[in-house]
Amino acid sequence: MTQVHTTEMTMTLPSDREVRFTRFFAAPRARVFKAWTQPEHVAQWWGCSQSTMIVCDADVRPGGRYRYVMKGPDGAEHPFHGVYRAVAPPERFEHTQVYDVAPFSEDEATVTVTLEPVDGGTVATETVLLPSAATRDGYLGGGCEAAVVESFNRLAAHLDVMGRAEEASPRFEISRTFAAPRERVWDAFTREDCLRQWWAPRGFENLYSKVDLRPEGTFQYRLRGPEGLEVGGLFRYQEVAPPERMRYIVAFVDEAGAVTRHPMIPDWPLEIVCTTALTERDGQTLVSIEWVPHNPTDAERKVFADNEESMHLGWTGTLDNLDAFLTRG
């Protein structure tokens, strides 16, 4: 029997310091996580409809900071800031939150958001932990329930917009900040001796890596996975701009090096355009990766959009390997 999920928000009080908001969104978890963590999406729904977000900055990683500034209809500004304590895409994140207006700026809350996939959609649970029972009561008395209902309604509408955009031109994006200088991260992405040590999803072994780093050059590799499954891959470089950016077309290849279909998903796009950008931040490096299907059929476009969460999981494992490699020095 198919369960019907209501899109109404519920509010509960787990303790004398907590307020919990729960709602079902008719969108895949990866899309909801993206909408909740990427500034270009957050700016479209966070806060009340009568206000405008004039600042939306976020470095979504453990220890990263965010700052939002809302401007109300009366012209007054309402700044919020905090620090991310935990980020586990696309399942969960936690951050502090301060409303930076006296006397409220003395009260730091902790916000935890969990996302659970349910029947093709997502149950989102946001728990706000206040510093005291009195602060919690003030939060409730300030109309938080109505504000979150409105904000979640705006989120639902924006998720629909995102879904239509993904159907028309699906794309996958993921980013992570590494505690290493940009030149070292660039080497990790482009040198054969480095790639052999980390370029593979979790549970796979890199058997072979060969790089010809130049426009029209290639990166050829072969991986062995669980139960001995071997897969080959090919990059065809279109743009190489050390140490900032590279653009290439990605495809699976057979043992002879010919482009072939995904070994487990026949309707996976035959080719994908990938852009990898490296941005230096205070001695660290933000790696941003974008995948877009290259000349996809309708079936390929749908399969790509439907597998966003599996791409998140695969890339997360690969980037975990990169982090371990960079940490080893």
Topology of domain 10-168, CATH: Alpha-D-Glucose-1,6-Bisphosphate; Chain A, domain 4 (3.30.530)
Q: Quick: pLDDT tens for 9-31.
A: 999 999 999 999 999 999 999 89
Q: Quick: pLDDT tens for 105-140.
A: 889 999 999 999 998 899 999 999 999 999 999 999
Q: Tokens in use for 148?
A: 């979150």
Among 230, 225, 228, residue whose Cα is nearest residue 204: 225
Q: Tokens in use for 162?
A: 């995102």
Strand partners, 25: 122
pLDDT value of position 163? 87
CA angle 140, 21, 139 (to 5 degrees): 15
Q: DSSP E strands: which ranges in 151-204?
A: 172-178
Domain with CATH 3.30.530.20 in the chain: 10-168, 172-328
Q: Quick: pLDDT tens for 220-267.
A: 999 998 888 899 999 999 999 999 999 999 999 999 999 999 999 999
pLDDT value of position 6? 58
* The overall pTM is greater than 0.85: no
**pLDDT confidence tier of residue 282, bands split at 50, 70 and 90:** confident
- Give the C-alpha distances (Å, rounded to integers) separating 20 from 13, 16, 72, 124, 130: 6, 11, 25, 10, 11
Average pLDDT for 280-304: 92
Average pLDDT for 290-315: 91
Q: How many CB atoms lie within 10 A of CB 107?
A: 17
| DSSP secondary structure code for residue 224 in this structure | E
Separation of alpha carbons 150 and 322, rounded Å: 40
Average pLDDT for 137-155: 93
Topology of domain 172-328, CATH: Alpha-D-Glucose-1,6-Bisphosphate; Chain A, domain 4 (3.30.530)
